[in-house]
Amino acid sequence: MTAVLQTATALQPVAGYRLSLRRFARNRLAVAGLVVVVLFLLFCFAGPLIHPTDQTHTDLNQVNLAPSGAHLLGTDAVGHDEFGRLMFGGKVSLLVGLAAGLLATVIGALWGAVAGYTGGWVDALMMRIVDAGIAIPALFILLVVSAITTPDTLGLILILGLVSWLVPSRLVRAETLTLKSRDYVLTLRAIGGTHGRAIGRHILPNSVSTIVVAATFQVADAILLVAYVSYLGLGVQPPATDWGGMLSSGLTAAYSGRWWLIVPPGLAIILVVCAFNAIGDGLRDAFDVRGRG
Amino acid sequence: MSPARTRLLAGAVLSTGTLLLAGCSGSGGTSSASHDSINYALPANFTPNWILPIGTAAHLNTNNISIANSLWEPLIAYDGSTGKIAWNKAGSVATDAKFAADNKSVTITLGDRHWSDGKPITSADVKFWFDLIKANKAEWAGYNPGKAPDNWISFKSVDDRHFTITFDKAYNPQWMLANELSSINPLPQHAWDQGGDAKKTWTYLNNAAKNISGYASNSLWKTISGPYAVTSFSTAGKVVLTANKKYDGGEKPGIPTVNLLPFTTADAEKNALRSGTVDYGYIEATDLDQKDRFTAQGYEVKPWSGWAITYMPYNFNNPAMGAVFKQLYARQAVQRSIDQAGLAKVIFGGTAVPGYGPVPQGQASAFVSPVQKDDPYPFSTSAARELLTGHGWSEQGGVMTCTEPAQCGAGIAKGTKFEMQVLSQSGSTVTDNMMSAIQSSLAKTGIKFSIKTAPVNSVLSQTPQCTAGQSICTWQLSFFGTAGSWYFSAFPTGDSLFQSKGGSNFGNYSNPAVDTLISRSTTSSSNQAIQDYSAALAKDLPVIWLPEPVYQISVIRNGLGGFSQDSLANFHPAQWKWTG
Amino acid sequence: METALYLTRRLLQALAVILIVTVVVFCLLHALPGGPARGILGPQATAQQIAAFNHEQGLDRPLPVQYLYYLHTLVQGDLGTSYTLNEAVSRLIEQRLPKTLVLTVLSALLGLLLAIPLGMWQGVRRNKPVDYAVTTLSFVAYSTPVYFLGLLLILVFTQVLRWFPSQAPQGDTLAQVFADPLALVLPVVTGAASMIAVFSRYMRAATLENLAEDYVRTARAGGSRPGAILWRHVFRNSLTPVIAMLGYYVPVLFGGALVVEQLFNYPGMGLLFWSAAQSSDYPVLLGCVLVISVATVIGTLLADIVQRIVDPRVKTERI
């Protein structure tokens, strides 16, 4: 009886995925979110190939033009075409958001899994390091780092990933604690399996749903964080920009009525972050993930 | 409602909202300013924190000095408050300064003035300041070795209202008056002196000044000679000044109560301005197209030009590019790639003045040479390219590379790319836009210009004078001139900026011919010396000259007048009057 | 007894965390190239003045010595003196912290007041059109950058509609701040917006979890009315973990407070921190970071303790 139950629980993840996919597809918000993300990815990466604009050189004769046939969304304060700039900035926002979010989740998941599985003083030490990381304001670290080095795209990904991995680590640790007391893990250890095998073949695969959901929310948060960082002036340097940087320099024109500098990047951020949140929510419902994700 | 439609609706609301505001002009704020008070907006993120007219460099900035000078009137107020840079006798304690024929001493006459407690202002009060500074010069903000007070040999009181200061050699009288004597504030010796011990008194006064909460109550600060007294001074930066009824000088205060308001950001100040709670405020260059809204609200937009120059220093000791910077043709190519007129018109909205040399051009003066005024290096990227190609550079992959080292110059290896990076001041959209535009026009010449930004304090810390071996010498260009890089005293000498080893000569520019011209400008009695210096540096390009932005774009309520905006960047509350 | 041991262990660990934080922050600050002198004294300062400043502030001593000296003064309650504001850091924090607390506590309260019923409602009405609509709106609120939302609110409510003043209360004391409630509305709403989204999400998840629990099904089977079930069991059991999450939200609340203070000209801790960062005012920076870190550590400790009491599974961990 126990063996059957064990095999059943071991098989569960596989059958579960198909069921989860169906549940996800039924969630209209989540599907809409997925569509939005795909559209934006196409817009930002394939768009410049269809509608190329010069985003490196300024043109002081074409500043602050309202939207027209020549410039679908007008031009900004130094003459860049705003529509093209939306694609250009979107590349950075999406790339940094996705990469930083994924990086944060990967580091966090590994850290949390190891800490939760090992237990004891190692767990305590690792979690206190996480607490110290949470206690130091990320803003402070961002300020210091940006005062020392130039944050190019890669640097920005690394920095944002390194300040964001703390929350996923706690989630995965909680999940690991639950899983490691499950029967099949105890059995594995009893018959001589190594820790690595236990983590690699049972803990992590069974936490996948938690990790995937966390990853989606991390990406959403990372995109918002990039926008926040650029607002404070700590983001990428000109001529590169991202939606947050566009929004923050556009906001100085708020009272001048140049809505085309504000609404497009603002809407883009809201739509994409909303979309990722919807996807994450849908995934969580689909996988029936418990816990405070 | 489906989620997609909800999102569309949200977007529509946002756009409509912003469109509405675009068309909306501010509902006329009635000019209900009480004629008994005025609300003046202090520069963003600045809190007044020092009341004493003497102190260390950390405390004596223009806004603190403006407040201190309203309480303790300067001996010689040499500033631009009268409309041109001259000695404003109405706002000074001294009425006359006679230089000896050999220019090695000056005799100053005091007016018939009194402290707020009735005692007369005498030479003893000036001597009190003199002794304090002499004994504590290392801690004094205005101290430069070799200059005041080192070059003042002696102070002799002739009588209660006359005294003579002797110098170590002959000086240009205008320079001495404008740059050195103008820093003297007579201080109440009878109330402040601690037993004649200058060091003890200095410590005593500075310690008292460290207590901001005591500024309104401490009796030390109640013995004043100027038009205003401090009624309240909060640690958050709000200062309330009230007219000093015992003031017997020439600039009687026009408005009984002056409120100096601090603002954390320019945006916060602009919001307050729009709501009508500020009478004398400011906007930024990016807001100039809203001029009509402010005019409709009862304000006048009046740019406040500053007696300053703006530039990007080259680091001549930078290991990578120092040798290239040392070549005059390279600097000429860079300068010819900067379209100052275009920047001033488009980026600054007309509120900046192109500058071609070391003397401020925002105001007419006798100090600027015709060579500087006529722009020795007009904007032309084609001419810039020719300069480079004619000296052994050729374009590879869009960037000029040195292919003939013999022609490039000493120390420039073959294959050196003309690439430079600026560490620029962050926090200003106008500065960011200017840098983008400069990057673009330099790229047309084939020079790769990359931008890194940091808060201004970081910029200053990371771009000091250095030698090639130091790790801090990796900087190539710096920029801290969002509101003007360098504000001069009335007589614009370049000793700290451009003299070899000058204190603020961050890039280590060194030219012996220029050094001679600089020392001559302070000692010769004619203005020809400073004009020669102006011409020499306009041609030698120690830095990249940039358009000089105004100190601030003031927005002043209609009815406030009776003053000119002082280009030395001080404000003079006593001159403000509500007319009509 | 076991709880007492656990508490003592965690408290000691919390102290260790705070110590680690001070070391990291101190080192990071002093890793900034050039030092604060030139920045504080301005471009017109001479080399002597810079040397005098460095000596006066003890910046010419080796780093470990500076750190030990800092700890020594810290233990005596002295956080140093600001380079630019001419005040003791502890006094500055004393003045500014209450103002930020007012803002963040009010925002948190408003956020929770709205998020909790919202989340519960979403959990109960799961996947119905109402759930979708409310979820979308809360997503939008969460996804809007704080400064964008703040500016929109300012534009609409202070410039067009003129219902509220464009600045937060300008008074220095708490009494003065509360005397101007109209001015508090927009800043608090801006700060609460993203909180509502996040916490309604937690509440919804917790509600769903608890609705599926055995004791609810049992209660239903036993004939209890649906309303009573919700309020008595689900609400209480969902609420505690959600409130506990607040502890982890301290740094986020602070980040949001910073933006709100900037937008509405409200000189609190956020702005103190930000202007200290802009002007290389090390003592103030250190002081602010310390305060935030201590608050976060306390917050997370409380959150962990509450969660441990509420969730039996967590009790098995030995730490």
- The torsion angles phi and psi of B163, rounded to 5 degrees, stand at -150, 160
For the stretch C307-319, what's the b/e string if a residue is b when 16 or more beta carbons lie within 10 angstroms of its beta carbon?
bbebbeeeeebeb
The whole-angstrom separation of Cα B234 and Cα B514 is 47
Selection from A248, A223, A246 nearest residue A157 by Cα = A223
Q: What is the DSSP letter of B402?
A: E
B458 touching chain A per CB within 8 A: yes
CB distance A28 to B406 below 8 Å: no
Q: Give the tokens for residue B324.
A: 């290239």
Q: What angle do CA A61, A62, A68 make, to 5 degrees?
A: 150
The whole-angstrom separation of Cα C223 and Cα C52 is 81
Residues 199-218 of chain B whose Cβ lies under 8 A from any Cβ of chain C = 210, 212
Residues 6+ apart with CB under 8 A from A100: A156, A157, A160, A161, A164, A218, A222, A225, A226
Task: Tell me the average pLDDT across C19-29.
Answer: 87
Would strands B94-99 and B308-313 be described as parallel, antiparallel, or unpaired? unpaired
pLDDT for residue A15:
52
Q: How far is CA C267 from CA A242, A276, B39, B428, in A?
A: 29, 35, 19, 21
Indicate whether this complex's ipTM tops 0.90. no
Work out the mean pLDDT of chain C and round it to a whole number: 81
Residues 24-53 of chain B whose Cβ lies under 8 A from any Cβ of chain C = 24, 26-27, 45, 47, 49-50
Residues 6+ apart with CB under 8 A from B398: B443, B446, B448
CB distance B357 to B537 below 8 Å: yes
Q: What is the DSSP letter of A66?
A: P
Selection from B228, B220, B233 nearest residue B254 by Cα = B228
Are residues B21 and A255, on separate chains, in Cβ contact within 8 Å? yes
Are residues B453 and A233, on separate chains, in Cβ contact within 8 Å? yes
Q: Which residue has the tokens 């190239």?
A: C33
Helix, strand, coil tally for chain B in percent (to 5): 35, 20, 45
Predicted confidence (pLDDT) per residue in C77-131, tens digit: 888 888 877 788 988 898 889 999 999 999 988 988 888 888 777 777 666 777 7
pLDDT for residue C316:
42
Give the percent of chain C with pLDDT over 70: 89
pLDDT for residue B344:
95
CA distance A71 to chain C (A): 24
Q: Give the tokens for residue B216.
A: 């309104």
Q: Out of A138, A144, A224, whose CB is closest to C28?
A: A144
Euclidean distance between the first and the last CA atom of chain C, given in angstroms as a whole number: 14
Residues 29-88 of chain A whose Cβ lies under 8 A from any Cβ of chain C = 29
**Nearest-by-CA chain C residue for B459:** C39
For chain A, the C-alpha Rg in angstroms (whole number) is 23
Are residues A292 and C206, on separate chains, in Cβ contact within 8 Å? yes
The whole-angstrom separation of Cα A142 and Cα A156 is 9
Q: Give the tokens for residue A126.
A: 């690792």
Low-confidence ranges of chain B (pLDDT < 70): 1-34, 580
Q: Give the tokens for residue B159.
A: 């009588």
Beta partners for B300? B556
HSE-CB for B451 with a 13 A CA cutoff: 28
For the beta carbon of residue B333, count every other beta carbon within 10 angstroms.
28
Q: How far is CA B361 from CA A120, B172, B566, C65, in A?
A: 72, 22, 15, 50
Q: What angle do CA A262, A266, A271 make, to 5 degrees?
A: 150
Alpha helices in B94-197 (DSSP H): 123-135, 173-175, 189-192
Mutate which: C15, C22, C100, C139, vs A, most A CBs within 10 A: C139
Beta partners for B421? B450
Segment holding C220, helix H or strand E = helix C214-221
The whole-angstrom separation of Cα C123 and Cα B132 is 75
The whole-angstrom separation of Cα A234 and Cα A244 is 11
CB distance B347 to B437 below 8 Å: yes
Q: Which residue has the higher pLDDT, A83 or B365?
A: A83
Predicted confidence (pLDDT) per residue in A164-194, tens digit: 998 888 888 888 887 777 766 677 667 776 7
CB distance A123 to C319 below 8 Å: yes
Are residues A60 and B433, on separate chains, in Cβ contact within 8 Å? no
Enumerate the residues of chain B whose CB falls inside 8 A of the CB of residue C140. 6-7, 10
Are residues A58 and B439, on separate chains, in Cβ contact within 8 Å? yes
Would strands B37-41 and B257-261 be described as parallel, antiparallel, or unpaired? parallel
Q: Please, what is the angle between helix A153-164 and helix A204-231, to 10°?
A: 120
Mutate which: B6, B264, B294, B500, vs C, most C CBs within 10 A: B264
Would strands B477-479 and B548-549 be described as parallel, antiparallel, or unpaired? unpaired
Beta partners for B78? B87
Selection from A66, A134, A27 nearest residue C304 by Cα = A134
CB distance C298 to C17 below 8 Å: no
The whole-angstrom separation of Cα B265 and Cα A252 is 12
Are residues C166 and B145, on separate chains, in Cβ contact within 8 Å? no
Q: Give the tokens for residue C5.
A: 């041991």
Are residues A78 and B436, on separate chains, in Cβ contact within 8 Å? yes
The whole-angstrom separation of Cα B60 and Cα B208 is 16
Is the backbone of residue B488 left (phi > 0), alpha (psi -120 to 50) or beta? Answer: beta
Q: Out of A32, A150, A262, whose CB is closest to B18?
A: A262
- Secondary structure E strands in B47-104: 78-79, 86-87, 94-99
Q: Estimate to the nearest angstrom the gap between the alpha carbon of C61 and the chain centroid.
A: 35
Enumerate the residues of chain A whose CB falls inside 8 A of the CB of residue C314. 174, 177
CB distance B361 to B548 below 8 Å: yes
**What string of H, E and C letters represents the secondary structure of B454-480?**
ECHHHHHHHCCCCCCCCHHHHCCEEEC
C301 touching chain B per CB within 8 A: no
Predicted confidence (pLDDT) per residue in C157-205, tens digit: 887 788 888 788 877 778 888 888 888 899 999 988 877 877 877 777 7
Single-letter amino acid code for the residue at B580:
G
pTM: 0.84
Beta partners for B424? B453, B479
A271 touching chain B per CB within 8 A: yes
CA distance C76 to chain B (A): 21
SS3 assignment, position B259: strand
Selection from B61, C157, C200, B472 nearest residue A148 by Cα = B472
B7 touching chain C per CB within 8 A: yes
The whole-angstrom separation of Cα B208 and Cα B220 is 8
SS3 assignment, position C223: coil
Residue A108 has pLDDT above 80, yes or no: yes
A232 touching chain B per CB within 8 A: no
CB distance C33 to B472 below 8 Å: yes
For the stretch C181-194, what's the b/e string if a residue is b when 16 or more beta carbons lie within 10 angstroms of its beta carbon?
eebbbbbbbbbbbb
- The torsion angles phi and psi of B118, rounded to 5 degrees, stand at 100, -20
Give the pLDDT band of residue C282 (cuts 50, 70, 90): confident
Burial (CB count <10 Å: 0-12, 13-18, 19+), residue A48: middle
Are residues A78 and B433, on separate chains, in Cβ contact within 8 Å? yes
Mutate which: C30, C32, C40, C49, vs B, most B CBs within 10 A: C49
Selection from B309, A243, A264, A135 nearest residue C21 by Cα = A135
Predicted confidence (pLDDT) per residue in A48-74, tens digit: 888 888 888 888 888 888 888 888 888
CB distance B493 to B530 below 8 Å: yes
pLDDT for residue B244:
94
Enumerate the residues of chain B whose CB falls inside 8 A of the CB of residue C278. 45, 427, 455-457
For the beta carbon of residue C11, count every other beta carbon within 10 angstroms.
11
HSE-CB for B252 with a 13 A CA cutoff: 3
Mutate which: A237, A246, A274, A277, vs B, most B CBs within 10 A: A237
The whole-angstrom separation of Cα B102 and Cα B118 is 38
Residues 6+ apart with CB under 8 A from A233: A248, B426, B427, B453
Residue A204 has pLDDT above 80, yes or no: no
SS3 assignment, position B25: coil
Beta partners for B165? B106, B155
B271 touching chain A per CB within 8 A: no
**What string of H, E and C letters represents the secondary structure of A181-225?**
CCHHHHHHHHCCCCHHHHHHHHHHHHHHHHHHHHHHHHHHHHHHH
Burial (CB count <10 Å: 0-12, 13-18, 19+), residue C4: exposed
Would strands B552-557 and B280-283 be described as parallel, antiparallel, or unpaired? antiparallel
